[in-house]
Structure 1
Amino acid sequence: MALKKLNFWIGGEFRAAQSNATFVDHTPVDDSPYAEVARAAVEDVQLAAEAAHAAFASYRDTTPGQRETWLGKAADLLEQRKDAFADVLIDEIGSPLLKAHFEIKYAIAHLRTAAGIPRRITGQTLPSDVPGRFSMSVREPLGVFACITPFNVPLIKAMKQCTGPLATGNTVVLLASEEAPALAILVAELFRDAGFPAGSFNVLTGFGHEIGDDLVTHPRVKGVNFTGSTRVGRHLSALCGKHMKRALLELGGKNPLIILKDADLDAAVHAAVFGMFLFQGQACMASSRILVEAPIYDEFLSRYKAAAAGVGYGDLRSPKTMLGPIISQRQRDRIRHHIDDAVAHGATLETGGKWVGNRCLPTILTGVDSRMVCYQEETFGPVTAVYKVGSADAALALANDNCYGLSAAVFTQNLDEAMRISQGIHAGMVHVNAPTLHDEPHVPFGGVGDSGMGREGAQTDIDHCTEWKWITIQAPGASHGH
């Protein structure tokens, strides 16, 4: 069967790279070729940024009703096309069916939520000390947004990063992960068919390390939305600072799940399995540190090991499968290194550490300490460490002994303790009696520390994607005193 060929979407048309360069996208189940994809270079970035800038001149003046209609239509179309999207999520990035459906359902909800943004872009009237002067502030779109998305939830992140700018009158150049270009092209077709004008939404495919800097520093680009590693996030943050660009960075996590002695153990075990092993731990919100109070530690560990051993890893299209393949050889090597390093330095491998093809089976470590790479670093695979703690305060101290601060969770039946810990924990999001892995379209989603800066979500998109302008009107003949 011939490989599908994928081109950029620029200015309302599909285009090959100007050099005709391509790369091969592989399916992670067996690393077989999945698609031949246009590979962007600096001249392609230039073309996309200029197309988005040219479209901005008229797109900024589209009405709230128009943008609301396009976003709503995109949600309806995604619902109609969910099987095609699920196929790409499964075949291109190795999503189990459960996770693919989870992602599509979220994306539809996000589009519907974003459709409400255009009518909420409000300004203010302000009092003035100058007699006869009317003073007001209004919000204006910035211009072109560069949106750089990861492989793990490419549909969710395309919606989170791109709909805020589009809803507020900005235009977008999406640079998709090199692991998920086919999904980005499906999104381009979705927005095209929903009615978004040519040039308002553009897609580049290629390698971030080759063209990411060119896109972020392009003079036409005014805002940057990035999801990815902390290392790359720091680099892009420095570029944005140097070039005075607005940036929203959603980076890594090393998320603590605290289980106190009065917790509902059934619920806590379920949260630890779902929050760690959904999509084989390739999630920034994964529960990669589980801190269990001593009186229930042994029972929790025993139950958790049994539950982890029962996680399905069969056919990706089976609803019983939770665990799929790790995305790339580089990432597989990283996971192996984290496990081997921990064991070499004295950690105990309670379960897992084995591979079936490109799948790493659910892996639980104990005895992990600061000498080990996985103590501080994000593994981004199905590997977690369980720690015994002597008290709630000890759990809180250990939870905060980390440079990340994305998501956290605490299981307890003591509401006072839940509130105290949720307020004391250094994280952008805390869930009580629920997994660390949770998101909704309208909430301020994001982290602190090395987990990033800024917040995704409809509630915060208006601030992030618009600029205030102050306008005064002096009545003719009125006093101009100060």
Structure 2
Amino acid sequence: MNAFKNLLPQYINGVWRDGNSHTKMKNINPYTQQCFATYKAATKEDLNEAYEAAQNAQKQWEHVNPVTKRSILENAVSYVEEKKEKIIDIIIEELGGTRLKADFEIGLVINILKEAATFPFRMEGKILPSPIDHKENRVYRVPVGVVGVISPFNFPFFLSMKSVAPAIATGNGVVLKPHEDSAITGGTLIAKIFEEAGLPKGVLNVITTEISEIGDAFIEHPVPRSISFTGSTVVGKHIGAVAGKHLKEVHLELGGNSALIVLDDADLELAVSAAVFSRFTHQGQICMSANRLIVHEKIYDSFVDKYVEKVKGLTSGDPRDEETIIGPLINERQVKNTEKMIEKGLSEGAKAIVKGETKGNIIEPVVFTDVTPEMSLAQEEVFAPVISIMKAKDDEEIIAFANDTNYGLSGAIHTRNVERGAEIAKRLDTGMIHINDGTINDEPNVAFGGMKNSGVGRLNGTWSLDAFTTFKWISIQHVRREYPYS
């Protein structure tokens, strides 16, 4: 029995308990579609307790010695490494992630924890000169106070930890609300890790609930000064609007419609491998996934032939099987939405040269050609194992196609001339672009974030340090100052 399945859904002020709502939440295995846990949702009162606990604990946590803070984060790394197999097991059961995906996600978590462990010793300030005689200006880097974190269902272990660990490391209190479909891997698992690591009670609190229970209270509550959200663009825009009314800082990592570009001088074998990985990892349920493959017409036919051959070799089925590449989508709703998108693509004139079957929550790979920029397949994010291939005549048309979207998160360019690739990359309206690689990249010390409808702000490394801290100016007048009047 996996002990993480038995954790109660609320972790408030160091106490594990159930929520106070009559609303029952179910944790469903996406592959078997069987319920393996039920629990009561948190109420607004539970949420208030969590924020108050975080606020009270933060006042002491901010002043804890940086050596102690670092040790706690290092303990968290050790716990994740020690419990790796149990964590893999719960990622497979709760998310339908394959073992490959689970292993990848745990690696990302360990890396971000190790990066965050350096933050307590990077809370540096400055002494700045003054135009006023005998004045000393001190600028201190300080925590923002309390951070509210909302995480999604696709990579919840990592995407929760990506904000939680840096926020804790910089001296903040945190309240985390995972997606209702990933209550364990996005929430209670993280609480357990930090509890075992020795984090003081109240610094991190987890509430599991439905929006129908709390509405906008998570954002509107007066305690949090910063909200970090990862999820859909529609929800992100709403959160940004609500937070703005209450003068809260927001960090929004939203949807994507990334293009993987294959130029006429590309290494085709490498480009095909990168394109398959960039679309079908975790069933395409990654914001950085390549939604569109934009291929130069000179090598288009060769690329498509090789790509289709590789896609047809992907195995679909039980995510516990180590040979499985394509597991289930997170729930039936996502399956139905994907089927509607596939039908819409066909009705708009796209051609499905590969069209797998739907088996429960598993959608086998679908590959579309004859896709043009105005089609819904090219304009909307597809969170499933469905890919669109577009043909372009030259570099200028490739750039135009790639930029013809409201999103701008990630992207990739394949070419043997890396400077040609770099010049094209500079002209793409996207926050991240990778040459001769896939679109799925996230490194703990490099700025991560998007443009346009893909988000606001940057995380990782120095950017996370900036995101969860602010600056306080303290000036000291060492010699009596004369004022123009008294």
TM-score when normalising by structure 2: 0.96
SS in 2 for 1:66: helix
Q: 2:10 aligns with which of 8, 11, 14?
A: 8
Paired position in structure 2 for 1:186: 189
Root mean square deviation of aligned Cα: 1.7
Shift of 1:124: 1.0
The whole-number CA distance in structure 2 between the counterparts of 1:328 and 1:417 is: 42
Paired position in structure 1 for 2:155: 153
Shift of 1:370: 5.1
Paired position in structure 1 for 2:109: 107
Cα–Cα, structure 1 residues 110 and 204, in superposed 2: closer, same or farther, change >3 Å?
A: same
Paired position in structure 2 for 1:77: 79
8 Å CA contact 2:315, 2:324 repeated in 1: yes
**Comparing 457-466 and 247-256, the one that deviates more:** 457-466
8 Å CA contact 2:21, 2:40 repeated in 1: no
The whole-number CA distance in structure 2 between the counterparts of 1:209 and 1:402 is: 32
The whole-number CA distance in structure 1 between the counterparts of 2:189 and 2:338 is: 30
Shift of 1:356: 2.6
The whole-number CA distance in structure 1 between the counterparts of 2:484 and 2:34 is: 75
8 Å CA contact 2:100, 2:322 repeated in 1: yes
SS in 1 for 2:251: strand
Paired position in structure 2 for 1:201: 204
Q: How does 1:317-466 map to 2 (within 5 A)?
A: 317-369=320-372, 372-466=375-469
Amino acid at match of 1:57: K
Q: How does 1:274-285 map to 2 (within 5 A)?
A: 274-285=277-288
Identical-pair percentage: 38
Kindly provide the CA deviation profile for residues 72-100 of structure 1, in whole angstroms up to 9, marking residues without a partner as x.
11001100011111111000010000000
Shift of 1:38: 2.9
Q: 2:88 aligns with which of 81, 86, 89?
A: 86
8 Å CA contact 2:47, 2:207 repeated in 1: yes
Amino acid at match of 2:297: A
8 Å CA contact 1:5, 1:37 repeated in 2: no
Paired position in structure 1 for 2:249: 246
Cα–Cα, structure 1 residues 38 and 441, in superposed 2: closer, same or farther, change >3 Å?
A: farther
Amino acid at match of 1:255: S
Amino acid at match of 1:360: I
Amino acid at match of 1:369: T
Kindly provide the CA deviation profile for residues 101-127 of structure 1, in whole angstroms up to 9, marking residues without a partner as x.
000111011101110111111111111
Shift of 1:209: 5.3
The whole-number CA distance in structure 1 between the counterparts of 2:374 and 2:102 is: 37
The whole-number CA distance in structure 2 between the counterparts of 1:124 and 1:481 is: 29
Shift of 1:212: 5.3
Q: 1:218 aligns with which of 221, 225, 233?
A: 221
Q: How does 1:132-171 map to 2 (within 5 A)?
A: 132-171=134-173
Amino acid at match of 2:226: G
Q: 2:231 aligns with which of 228, 244, 258?
A: 228
8 Å CA contact 1:268, 1:411 repeated in 2: yes
Paired position in structure 2 for 1:40: 42
SS in 1 for 2:26: strand
8 Å CA contact 2:74, 2:117 repeated in 1: yes
The whole-number CA distance in structure 2 between the counterparts of 1:311 and 1:382 is: 11
Cα–Cα, structure 1 residues 209 and 413, in superposed 2: closer, same or farther, change >3 Å?
A: farther
Amino acid at match of 1:36: T
The whole-number CA distance in structure 2 between the counterparts of 1:285 and 1:209 is: 29
The whole-number CA distance in structure 1 between the counterparts of 2:342 and 2:23 is: 38
Shift of 1:318: 3.0
Shift of 1:478: 5.9
The whole-number CA distance in structure 1 between the counterparts of 2:354 and 2:452 is: 31
Amino acid at match of 1:367: D
Amino acid at match of 1:270: S
8 Å CA contact 2:264, 2:298 repeated in 1: yes
Kindly provide the CA deviation profile for residues 196-217 of structure 1, in whole angstroms up to 9, marking residues without a partner as x.
1100001011124542510111
8 Å CA contact 1:130, 1:480 repeated in 2: no
SS in 2 for 1:224: strand
8 Å CA contact 2:418, 2:435 repeated in 1: no
Shift of 1:462: 1.6
SS in 2 for 1:429: coil
Amino acid at match of 2:424: I
Amino acid at match of 2:258: N
Shift of 1:476: 4.6
The whole-number CA distance in structure 2 between the counterparts of 1:182 and 1:442 is: 27
Aligned residues: 482
Shift of 1:346: 1.3
8 Å CA contact 1:124, 1:136 repeated in 2: yes
Shift of 1:30: 2.3
SS in 1 for 2:16: strand
